[in-house]
């Protein structure tokens, strides 16, 4: 087995092990969960030493015939696009598992599902065979359903089934598109690398239709307006750690899918769809920001801000320039780190106060200095303050979209990309407004004596959050190490898409 | 003559065993339930060995094809009978003093399926169909003291008799036109004529199709199914839904791949319509069911519709898909029914609420049930997913994009009602007024058979390479 298989399947082994530990021994369940996700994380870090960032192709490849009669392989590998996301997943999983130590109800099942979920997510990022990709894509849903439905908030059961059916609905389109690609390719194959070599066969209307099918499938995951309605409900109802995974990793699967499958396989259709993608990104940014502005529930606010942030990501992708792609991939990572820590922090407050209503707090900064400080850093990063991670990626997304070579002039004879990039900047303003308002109402002002007994963050919570805060600052000051990691892969991708022009 | 007889060893042996069991019942006064069951299982086991040792690529009497294709379904039929016998083992209430009759009727019905899987002649098809169904009339009404059971049997009987009549009528038309009931002769005849304009031929074919539609409970001929399924003793319901469908679908497959090409006849649209109607109706009505058996009955209608897609696609991938799907469907629906049997026996209730809080009472059992539900819902990595995948792939290959789209939408709907069960098991608390499921289950045969089914579903779902290559060999019927 290669390193990637170990990374992917270690959590699964942990999950199976947990099943054999009696129900009452909760500390052992926790220990197994942390141990296996930590191992997986350590290996994913360790392979950095062997990762060649100047190589734009797939590395750590493992290819074993799996279902020969369909030409399906167990085929995994990573490149500059998937490697950072892989590390993000193992890191966030580990931190979320630590953060969920306070779960007391049905501990065994909780960690079983959680580790299964981790395997599913990692599997999507490493698989290079569309069958395998789809398999992991679907497997992920089941643990998520139970995690939301058993340990979630008041509307958990409705949120769980809505999430499940909605995303399953999305995978319908994915499945049809994958099968269509399979039968169009000659010889029939699900192998992404081989499909890539044959992408000259996907022409004309076929390319457009398949692109649209894939786009709907991925858009539901991102989520792109108007497919976003599952997100606020699921994010709000899910337990804290699961919200972190939902926002931090699951949303990235959609954008990752677009960059991994749609863009390289169907370049002409991708370029053809650039303007609609731009408009959708614009809607996501503005709509997400205003919706977040309207919330009084902190968790809901963060959930809507995710829609807004994924809009930036989509904006960078729609540009089809190297700058835009850099911005988009970095935005995926940053959103995972920042929103992950925001959800963790909101969870910390909720565990103590049992409410997330912005209006009932006030002056908490004086009572919980540590918490207020970390939360402020996360909010500032999320609204794009220079010097923190969010700024770099949002700036690059805007820059990429503004300098996009796309010549369309649809609205009033103005260059469409420049126009909508400029309009999208309003989103930043609104984002700033609602985050500052939240900080003001919760941490500043006179202290609300109702919260006299609140305690500051404990050790476990700090362990879960601080690594993310450190990363936020680190990426904000010195993002280049991440760019150098993905540079050659994204360069190849841009050339691939822009090439036929 | 003798060579042909050799090819029919499994059928002959099983018929003999069934007769022997009936005789035992008639002449031995003592209650020999245990021995009867052991004898039944033993002979089924031996028949399985006989099936596996049959030489393939032959015809018996020119009417029955013994190819890999039929062997697969023969094996499946015997296996299903064996498993059903195992889960009815403890059901003293069901068998009463008539264990011998019960077992022998089940075996006879299985023999009917063995004939069906080989039938290459309309008359053979008819005989096989009758042999499969008639014992089931009796078995459906086996709980004589219960009104529901008798109702179920009467409904099944009336519909069965009616549909058989229609089918026979259709066969007579075809015979009148072609001068033969043999598939190959009919095929040769259709090649020499412009059959798509021949109203009589189409009428005959249509009547046969209606007959098959009734047996396979395709919409709009499905109305009898829920009542029959609900009323019949649950092991028989499991047998109904799991194996009978496989038995009928194999005939339809042979008919369409060897005799009439739906595309050439211009009836493909009708078949697509039937498939869509069946899936959609089955799924939509299942959404509202509160009785577990009824729910599974409607879901089996929906599955029949999905299976039918492989038949509509009419290519080799479709045939292979139907084979995998039949195997998967048999195992998962058997498993789900087995769990329902166990739960309803303890809780004295067949309603959805009997599943409430199962995960708190017995986590292992609820996970087992979850396995079957996930497989039924077509979620990877279970075999049910693979079956669906192949059937859909075959339809995509045949360029039936819309059909696949609708089928996939249907599978989303299906997830909702399967997950209603999961919801009851994992999200709700047990009903304190009902007796709890013990943590340790007693019935060994239940544990063995359901674990077997779940493991096969999981292992073949993850490592399907071997079985797929076998099926590829078997996918082509005898030319």
The pTM (predicted TM-score) of the whole model is 0.91
CB contact (8 A) between residue A69 and residue B423: no
Q: Which of B359, B390, B394, B415 to mutate to test the interface with A (most CBs of A within 10 A)?
A: B415
Tell me how far apart the alpha carbons of residues A362 and A464 are, in angstroms, rounded to a whole number: 25
The SS3 of residue B56 is coil
Tens digit of pLDDT for each residue in A243-263?
Answer: 999 998 999 999 999 999 999
Tell me how far apart the alpha carbons of residues B292 and B340 are, in angstroms, rounded to a whole number: 7
Nearest to B380 among A139, A161, A165 (CB): A139
Helices (H) and strands (E) in chain B, counts: 23, 2
What pLDDT is stored for residue B427 in this prediction? Answer: 87
Q: For the CA atoms of B409, B412, B417, B423, what is the dihedral angle to 10 degrees?
A: -160
Tens digit of pLDDT for each residue in B140-180?
Answer: 888 888 888 888 888 888 988 888 899 999 999 989 988 88
pLDDT at A296 over 60: yes
Nearest to B397 among A67, A138, A183 (CB): A183
CB contact (8 A) between residue B393 and residue A182: yes
Residue A232, min C-alpha distance to chain B (Å) = 21
Query: Tokens representing B263?
Result: 């595309």
What is the chain B residue with the closest CA to A173? B405
pLDDT at A500 over 60: no
**B413: in domain:** yes
Residue with tokens 């211009």: B266
Mean pLDDT calculated for residue range A383-391: 88
Tens digit of pLDDT for each residue in A79-134?
Answer: 888 899 999 999 999 999 998 888 888 888 899 999 999 999 999 999 999 999 99
Q: What ipTM was assigned to the predicted interfaces of this complex?
A: 0.88
Residues found in chain B: 479
Greatest mean pLDDT among A200-204, A455-459, B129-133: B129-133
Query: Which one, of A154, A182, A262, lies nearest residue A218 by Cα?
Result: A262
Tell me how far apart the alpha carbons of residues A222 and A253 are, in angstroms, rounded to a whole number: 7
Query: Tokens representing B355?
Result: 């599943």
Under 8 Å between Cβ of B121 and B63: yes
pLDDT at A230 over 60: yes
What is the average pLDDT score of chain A?
A: 88
Q: Which of A70, A138, A149 to mutate to test the interface with B (most CBs of B within 10 A)?
A: A70
Tell me how far apart the alpha carbons of residues A309 and A127 are, in angstroms, rounded to a whole number: 26
Count of CB atoms within 10 A of residue A244's CB? Answer: 28
Using a CB-CB distance cutoff of 8 angstroms, which residues of chain B are in contact with residue A134? 380
**Domain coverage including residue B450:** 267-479
**B145: in domain:** no
Mean pLDDT calculated for residue range A221-242: 88
pLDDT at A272 over 80: yes
What is the average pLDDT score of chain B?
A: 85
Which letter does DSSP use for residue B429 in this model?
-
CB contact (8 A) between residue A161 and residue B419: yes
One pLDDT digit (tens) per residue for chain B, 479 residues? 677 888 888 889 999 999 988 888 778 766 677 788 888 889 999 999 988 888 877 788 878 888 888 888 888 889 989 988 888 877 666 777 778 888 899 999 999 988 888 888 888 888 888 888 888 888 888 888 888 888 888 888 898 888 889 999 999 998 998 888 888 888 888 888 777 778 888 888 889 888 888 888 887 888 888 888 888 888 888 888 766 676 777 777 787 777 777 666 777 888 888 889 999 999 999 988 888 888 988 898 899 888 888 888 888 888 888 888 988 988 998 999 989 888 888 888 888 888 888 888 888 888 899 999 999 998 888 999 999 999 999 998 888 888 998 999 999 999 999 998 998 888 888 888 777 777 777 778 888 888 999 999 999 988 888 888 888 877 665 55
CB contact (8 A) between residue B408 and residue A172: yes
**B119: in domain:** no
The confidence band for A215, taking pLDDT boundaries of 50, 70 and 90, is: very high
**B198: in domain:** no
What pLDDT is stored for residue A217 in this prediction? Answer: 92
Tens digit of pLDDT for each residue in B401-432?
Answer: 889 989 999 999 999 999 989 988 888 888 88
Tens digit of pLDDT for each residue in B344-362?
Answer: 888 888 888 888 888 888 8
**B337: in domain:** yes
Q: For the CA atoms of A237, A243, A245, A250, what is the dihedral angle to 10 degrees?
A: 60
What pLDDT is stored for residue A501 in this prediction? Answer: 45
What pLDDT is stored for residue B92 in this prediction? Answer: 67
Tens digit of pLDDT for each residue in A125-146?
Answer: 999 999 999 999 999 999 999 9
Orientation angle between helical segments A389-402 and A459-477, nearest 10 degrees = 40
Q: How many domains does chain B have?
A: 1
Tell me how far apart the alpha carbons of residues A442 and B392 are, in angstroms, rounded to a whole number: 54
Concatenated DSSP letters of B106-161: HHHHHHHHHHHHHB-BHHHHHHHHHHHHHHHHHHHT--TT-HHHHHHHHHHHHHHH
Concatenated DSSP letters of B203-247: HHHHHHHHHHHHHTT-TTS-THHHHHHHHS-HHHHHHIIIIIHHH
Tell me how far apart the alpha carbons of residues B53 and B186 are, in angstroms, rounded to a whole number: 31
Q: What is the largest CA-CA distance in chain A?
A: 71
């Amino acid at each position: 087995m290669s390193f990637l298989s170990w990374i992917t399947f270690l959590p699964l082994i942990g999950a199976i092990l947990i099943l054999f530990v009696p129900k009452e021994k909760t500390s052992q369940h926790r220990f197994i969960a942390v141990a296996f996700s930590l191992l997986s994380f350590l290996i994913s870090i360790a392979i950095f030493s062997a990762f060649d960032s100047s190589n734009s192709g797939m590395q750590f490849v493992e290819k074993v015939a799996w279902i020969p009669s369909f030409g399906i392989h167990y085929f995994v590998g990573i490149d500059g696009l998937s490697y950072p996301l892989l590390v993000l997943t193992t890191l966030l999983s580990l931190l979320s598992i630590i953060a969920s130590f306070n779960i007391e109800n049905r501990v065994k099942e909780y960690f079983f599902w959680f580790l299964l979920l981790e395997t599913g997510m990692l599997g999507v990022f490493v698989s290079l065979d569309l069958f395998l990709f789809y398999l992991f894509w679907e497997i992920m849903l089941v643990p998520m359903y139970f995690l939301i439905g058993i340990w979630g908030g008041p509307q958990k059961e409705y949120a769980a089934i809505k999430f499940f059916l909605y995303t399953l609905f999305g995978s319908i389109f994915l499945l049809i598109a994958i099968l269509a690609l399979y039968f169009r390719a000659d010889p029939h194959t699900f192998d992404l690398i081989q499909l890539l070599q044959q992408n000259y066969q996907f022409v004309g209307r076929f390319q457009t239709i398949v692109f649209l099918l894939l786009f709907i499938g991925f858009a539901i995951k991102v989520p792109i307006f108007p497919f976003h309605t599952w997100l606020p409900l699921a994010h709000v109802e899910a337990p804290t750690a699961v919200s972190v995974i939902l926002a931090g990793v699951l949303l990235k699967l959609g954008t990752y899918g677009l960059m991994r499958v749609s863009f390289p396989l169907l370049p002409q259709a991708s370029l053809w769809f650039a303007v609609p993608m731009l408009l959708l990104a614009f809607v996501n940014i503005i709509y997400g920001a205003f919706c977040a502005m309207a919330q009084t529930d902190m968790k809901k606010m963060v959930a809507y801000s995710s829609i807004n942030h994924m809009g930036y990501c989509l904006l960078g992708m729609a540009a089809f320039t190297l700058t835009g792609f850099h911005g988009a991939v970095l935005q995926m990572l940053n959103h995972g780190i920042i929103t992950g820590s925001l959800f963790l922090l909101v969870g910390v407050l909720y565990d103590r106060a049992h409410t997330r209503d912005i209006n009932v707090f006030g002056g908490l900064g004086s009572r919980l200095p540590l918490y207020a400080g970390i939360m402020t850093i996360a909010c500032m990063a999320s609204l794009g303050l220079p010097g923190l991670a969010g700024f770099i990626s949002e700036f690059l997304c805007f820059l990429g979209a503004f300098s996009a070579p796309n010549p369309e002039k649809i609205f009033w004879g103005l260059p469409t990309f420049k126009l909508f990039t400029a309009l999208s900047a309003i989103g930043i303003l609104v984002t700033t407004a609602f985050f500052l308002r939240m900080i003001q109402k919760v941490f500043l002002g006179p202290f609300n004596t109702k919260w006299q007994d609140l305690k500051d963050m404990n050790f476990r919570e700090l362990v879960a959050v601080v690594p993310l805060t450190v990363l936020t600052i680190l990426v904000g000051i010195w993002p280049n190490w991440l760019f150098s990691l993905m540079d050659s892969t994204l360069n190849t991708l841009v050339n691939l898409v822009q090439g036929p022009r | 003559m003798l060579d042909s007889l050799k090819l029919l060893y499994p059928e002959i042996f099983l018929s003999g065993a069934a007769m022997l069991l009936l005789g035992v019942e008639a002449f031995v006064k003592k209650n020999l339930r245990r021995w009867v069951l052991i004898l039944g299982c033993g002979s089924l086991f031996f028949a399985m060995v006989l099936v596996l040792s049959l030489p393939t690529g032959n015809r018996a009497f020119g009417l029955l094809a013994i190819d890999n294709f039929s062997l697969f379904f023969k094996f499946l039929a015997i296996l299903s009978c064996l498993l059903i016998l195992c889960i009815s083992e403890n059901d003293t209430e069901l068998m009463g003093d008539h264990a011998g009759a019960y077992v022998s009727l089940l075996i006879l019905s299985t023999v009917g399926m063995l004939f069906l899987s080989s039938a290459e002649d309309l008359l053979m098809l008819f005989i096989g169909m009758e042999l499969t169904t008639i014992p089931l009339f009796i078995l459906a009404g086996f709980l004589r003291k219960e009104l529901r059971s008798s109702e179920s049997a009467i409904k099944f009987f009336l519909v069965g008799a009616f549909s058989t009549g229609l089918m026979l009528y259709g066969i007579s038309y075809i015979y009148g036109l072609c001068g033969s009931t043999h598939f190959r002769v009919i095929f040769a005849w259709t090649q020499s004529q412009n059959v798509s304009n021949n109203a009589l031929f189409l009428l005959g074919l249509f009547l046969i199709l209606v007959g098959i539609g009734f047996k396979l409970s395709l919409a709009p001929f499905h109305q009898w199914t829920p009542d029959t399924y609900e009323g019949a003793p649950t092991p028989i319901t499991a047998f109904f839904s799991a194996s009978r469908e496989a038995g009928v679908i194999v005939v339809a497959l042979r008919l369409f791949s060897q005799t009439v090409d739906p595309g050439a006849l211009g009836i493909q649209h009708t078949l697509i319509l039937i498939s869509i109607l069946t899936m959609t109706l089955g799924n939509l009505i299942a959404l509202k069911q509160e009785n577990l058996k009824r729910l599974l009955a409607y879901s089996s209608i929906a599955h029949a519709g999905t299976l039918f897609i492989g038949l509509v696609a009419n290519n080799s991938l479709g045939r292979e898909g139907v084979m995998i799907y039949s195997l998967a469907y048999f195992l998962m629906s058997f498993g789900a029914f087995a769990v329902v049997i166990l739960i309803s026996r303890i809780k004295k209730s067949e309603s959805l609420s009997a599943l409430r809080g199962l995960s708190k009472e017995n986590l292992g059992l609820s996970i087992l049930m979850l396995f079957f539900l996930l497989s039924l819902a077509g979620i990877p990595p279970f075999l049910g997913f693979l079956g669906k995948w192949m059937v859909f792939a075959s339809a995509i290959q045949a360029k039936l994009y819309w059909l696949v789209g609708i089928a996939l939408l249907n599978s989303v709907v299906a997830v909702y009602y399967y997950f209603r069960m999961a919801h009851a098991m994992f999200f709700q608390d047990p009903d304190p007024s009902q007796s709890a499921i013990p943590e340790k289950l007693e019935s060994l045969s239940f544990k063995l058979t359901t674990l077997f089914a779940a493991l096969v579903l999981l292992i073949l779902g993850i490592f399907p390479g071997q079985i797929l290559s076998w099926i590829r060999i078997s996918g082509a019927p005898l030319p």
